[in-house]
Structure 1
């Protein structure tokens, strides 16, 4: 299995005029990738590598601080958006059967004006840099969702109507800045990974990687390494979209292994997890009732409770 690469230039963030023929061509390519592999690389999206680097640079400055300076921004400290904020090392278990993941992250789920942001010293641009990137990822995601609907011969706005509140407190879409510090493999717990095997929870995910390390499960159940293609965004289907499309589009498990013994390098990535609005009712669009109806918000709460179960 190889992950297809699709040129999204015709409908990139910098393009205002796209023809029906170009949209049709893109929709066929995305549908093929998402039905056969579940993942696709998008190149020429309109999100520049320089912007990605800026977000990673200021995120790393936050992560390299002592924990006591990060603690005031911890997840669960924000009443209006409980998934917003810093997640410390080994707090998450994306595969609940493994020890806590060897990573930390900063979740941005709300752009509410009352949200408190890191801002001291070298972090003075943290809010502006992340907010701008969030908005660009949102716009690109809506374009991808529109193309996906066309590929499924649906109303092109059907997915957009269910994602109209991204960035508010009634939509679970999350920009996660992820930091994987150096690992001494000999001191890791048995079965511990940087990120345990899992599938994503929502509609689609945009992933920006600084280096290789991600592995994707193929149809035969074997994990294969996903390359890091400079300037390309890795996009995958998530669980609610698989339910929505009655398994036409597939949500695939993936993971990040420990580095090889003696490898002391760090890893960074940015993931934009796209979710329908909390009250959106997800039903099989073909009327098959293959999956029972579920609201996006309730499904996300259920999945997060499994991820953050007490160890």
Structure 2
């Protein structure tokens, strides 16, 4: 029974390793086995020595904060249209766990980018925002390929690039999304209820999620016994979990784990005035990739990645995730 989130060292396959062909089969096999065990059980891990520059992560957090700090009138010009995934999602109330005891609505706002994007950017107020987002997406894409390679090895697929090849169109015909999220500072009037969440219980939809978060904390993960455990932020590490599509793809051999974001008791005094900020990189297969059980069991009906995502979106509200 897991009581902590495992920490995996990516020193042998992080982005600092320029030529992946130099990585030994043994090192890659060990990483693959670690990944397989993590995603077969708890479904979450932290990755250190991943090679994504902290400077770039900090730039994303900073430019996102500057956007969220704009007046509502300014941000409303970039609100996400109904026919697009790009843009600002205004402050909304998380209702996912509204029927659970002690639950209450918590406000948050987000900015979504699904490249390539023809949508509007706040160029007059924040001329660097689009450039920073696209730089971040490009680096995350490279890291996503490394993670998918390790997953392929752990699953003993045809080759280390099997899953990578199913995600080649990231930035084109693919629904991979970067979402920057801000939860506002907590009220100090005593209106926060015991057990109140910042984000209700849910699983992600896609293949893999890479989560970049500040040090405020609050993320909790449901372990194999049904008990929620803290996923305390690890400085310099990124949080990685698999989504429901990967569970379906592996015929339930890997687990998409339920998670939520609580308001930690430690977030008292001055910390509750800081809010919480994060970026999530939701990795999805190419739109036309047919998701068929990898073990040949046909436990789930084959369907394209895009059709699967449309079906899942029709069942709930995607914008409430994270």
- TM-score greater than 0.5 by the shorter chain: yes
Aligned to 2:69: 64
Alignment partners' CA distance in 1, 2:218 and 2:236? 17
- Do the aligned partners of 1:93 and 1:308 also contact (CA within 8 Å) in 2? no
Are 1:154 and 2:163 matched, yes or no? no
Report SS of the residue matched to 2:116: coil
Cα shift at 1:192: 5.8
Are 1:39 and 2:48 matched, yes or no? no
Report SS of the residue matched to 1:270: strand
Alignment partners' CA distance in 1, 2:179 and 2:86? 9
Aligned to 1:291: 300
Are 1:108 and 2:113 matched, yes or no? yes
Are 1:127 and 2:130 matched, yes or no? yes
* Alpha-carbon distance change, 72 to 307 in structure 1, aligned in 2, over 3 angstroms: farther
Summarize the alignment of residues 231-310 of structure 1 with structure 2, pairs less than 5 Å apart. Answer: 231-260=236-265, 263-308=272-317
Are 1:85 and 2:87 matched, yes or no? yes
Are 1:197 and 2:206 matched, yes or no? no
Alignment partners' CA distance in 2, 1:307 and 1:118? 29
Q: How many residues align?
A: 305
* Alpha-carbon distance change, 110 to 258 in structure 1, aligned in 2, over 3 angstroms: same
* Alpha-carbon distance change, 190 to 41 in structure 1, aligned in 2, over 3 angstroms: closer
Aligned to 1:221: 226
CA displacement 1:279-305 (0-9 Å, x = unmatched)? 211111111122222221122223233
RMSD: 2.4
- Do the aligned partners of 2:251 and 2:294 also contact (CA within 8 Å) in 1? yes
Alignment partners' CA distance in 2, 1:148 and 1:309? 25
- Do the aligned partners of 1:92 and 1:308 also contact (CA within 8 Å) in 2? no
Report SS of the residue matched to 2:92: coil
Alignment partners' CA distance in 1, 2:163 and 2:94? 29
**Structure 2: tracts of 5 or more residues without a match:** none
**Structure 1: tracts of 5 or more residues without a match:** none
Stretch moving more, 16-25 or 210-219: 16-25
Cα shift at 1:91: 5.6
* Alpha-carbon distance change, 280 to 190 in structure 1, aligned in 2, over 3 angstroms: farther
Alignment partners' CA distance in 1, 2:218 and 2:225? 20
- Do the aligned partners of 2:87 and 2:120 also contact (CA within 8 Å) in 1? no
Alignment partners' CA distance in 2, 1:190 and 1:266? 18
Alignment partners' CA distance in 2, 1:46 and 1:308? 33
Aligned to 2:15: 13
CA displacement 1:180-230 (0-9 Å, x = unmatched)? 111227446998631111000000000111021111111111111111100
Alignment partners' CA distance in 1, 2:89 and 2:105? 12
Aligned to 1:171: 174
